[in-house]
Amino acid sequence: MDRHDLIIIGGGPAGLAAALAARENGIEDILILERDVRLGGILNQCIHNGFGLHTFKEELTGPEYAERYAKRVIEAGIPYKLNTICADISPDREVTYVNAEEGCVTVKAGAVILAMGCRERPRGALGLPGFRQAGVYTAGTAQRLMNIEGYLVGKEVVILGSGDIGLIMARRMTLEGAKVKVVAELMPYSGGLKRNIVQCLDDFNIPLRLSHTVTRVHGKERVEGVTISEVGPDRRPIPGTEEFYSCDTLLLSCGLLPENELSKSAGVRLSRITGGAEVNESLETSVPGVFSCGNVLHVHDLVDYVSEEASRAGKNAAAFIKAGGVRERGRVITLKGEGGVRYTVPQTIDPANMEDKLTVRFRVGDVYKGKSLAVYYNGVEVRRVRKRVMAPGEMEELVIMKSSLPENTDEIIIRVED
């Protein structure tokens, strides 16, 4: 069986940044497995701009952002395989992949980085009643058909869900001559970034109806319209509020799900809230030597944070490999989100392996205006940060300083407070 020091599953923004960081930290023998025909992952179909403001201090399109990383990976001579699907990862880091050239191959990895990204919540998982007609697409599928293949999926469109891809597609389809009639959002707030609501809906006079959902999809062969109803605080439709919108297409942007089937085959423990792996300060999962980063770990709002997180995973995987695959594990501090903070990544910290500064990322469960984020070490408040506004569509972060951690800390809690 062949062996590689580091195998990275996925050649999207997370996988590429992880590979570069691992190489910068001295790992020569790296292999990236990418299932698509090119590096860059989902960014290749995100042809709008707005990427890279943090990383490159300029506004790039998705393909441009991907290109910068892909180019560096190629220049660094890091090997990658395209059109290659990872079929299995065993708990002892044997990676099986399949492609047309080599068939079915198993290789041993010194360390593995999971960077498979996420998928969209499909119609079936939403339980939308109606026929199973053509014309219902997740926003990402419509985006691929439009931006990669060059086809228009519909001319009169209703969008359910105000996730970022849905908002982006509202603008994109409008620019291509389609009429986007309305965006309906089940929650009383949008799941997307504020800037996308302004630039993709407001600028094009597309109404966003909060606390509304689709209660019926009409048409047998092809979508002919949808019924939209208002929902109450229990998120159930309110009878009598039904409104019919005629359309030929329904796009869904109702959440992204980290794609962790392979992680499960490796025995990685998953968080029930993020759907991604539970990780420690090194972004290492419950399986030693298996690291996770990017949208497969938790769904990010900006790719810049994916790259930053993935670089840390690459660096930490490099340290693991250089240490010969064994790392002393010391004390464990548990990190928890409470009172409006839905989760934290990471979930645990080993102070012995912690760098001086650790960025903790999380999302809140509701829209909060003028509230604070409070940090507690063993129940004692140590910090309080005032936030003008926090919303579920935007990721929050806090930095924990190693120097601030008392010896005996075993629990850190982050809460939303007044």
What is the DSSP track for 231-270?
B-TTSPBPTT--EEEE-SEEEE---EEE--HHHHHTT--B
Q: 131 or 376: whose CB is closer to other proteins? A: 131
Q: Min. distance of Cβ 261 from other proteins in angstroms? A: 8
Cis-peptide into 13, omega within 30 deg: no
User: Does 99 help bind other proteins (rule: CB under 8 A)?
Assistant: yes
Stretch that binds other proteins, among 119-127, 191-199, 375-383, 409-417 (CB under 8 A): 119-127
Q: Does 288 bind other proteins (CB under 8 A)?
A: no
Q: Least distance in Å: CB of 25 to other proteins?
A: 31
Binding region for other proteins (CB under 8 A) out of 98-106, 296-304, 372-380, 401-409: 98-106
Dihedral Cα 11, 7, 54, 185, nearest 10 deg? 60
Site string for other proteins, 310-349 (x = CB under 8 A): ----------------------------------------
Site residues for other proteins, 134-193, by CB under 8 A, read 134-135, 137-138, 140-141, 144-145, 148-149, 151-155
Q: What is the DSSP letter of 192?
A: S
222: contact with other proteins by CB under 8 A: yes
Least distance in angstroms from the C-beta of 217 to other proteins: 9
129 near other proteins, rule: CB under 8 A? yes
Q: Are 138 and 292 in contact (CB under 8 A)?
A: no
Contact between 248 and other proteins per CB under 8 A: yes
Minimum distance, C-beta of residue 156 to other proteins, in the bound complex (Å): 9
List the structure tokens of 266: 């490796």
Least distance between other proteins and beta carbon 178 (Å): 8
Q: Which of 2, 57, 75, 221 binds other proteins (CB under 8 A)?
A: 221
Q: Quote the tokens at residue 13.
A: 């923004």
Distance CA(15)–CA(42), nearest Å, equals 12
Unique residue bearing structure tokens 């179909």:
45
Q: Residue 89: CB partners within 8 Å, gap ≥ 6?
A: 9, 95, 96, 112, 262, 263, 265, 266, 290
Complete edge-to-edge strand list for the sheet that includes strand 156-160? 136-138, 249-252, 156-160, 179-185, 208-210
Q: Which of residues 201-220 bind other proteins (CB under 8 A)?
A: 215, 220
Alpha helix segments (H runs only) across 35-182: 62-75, 123-126, 139-147, 164-175
- Least Cβ distance, residue 14 to other proteins (angstroms): 17
Binding site for other proteins (CB under 8 A): 35, 83, 85, 87, 98-104, 106, 119-120, 122-125, 127, 129-135, 137-138, 140-141, 144-145, 148-149, 151-155, 215, 220-222, 237, 248-249, 261
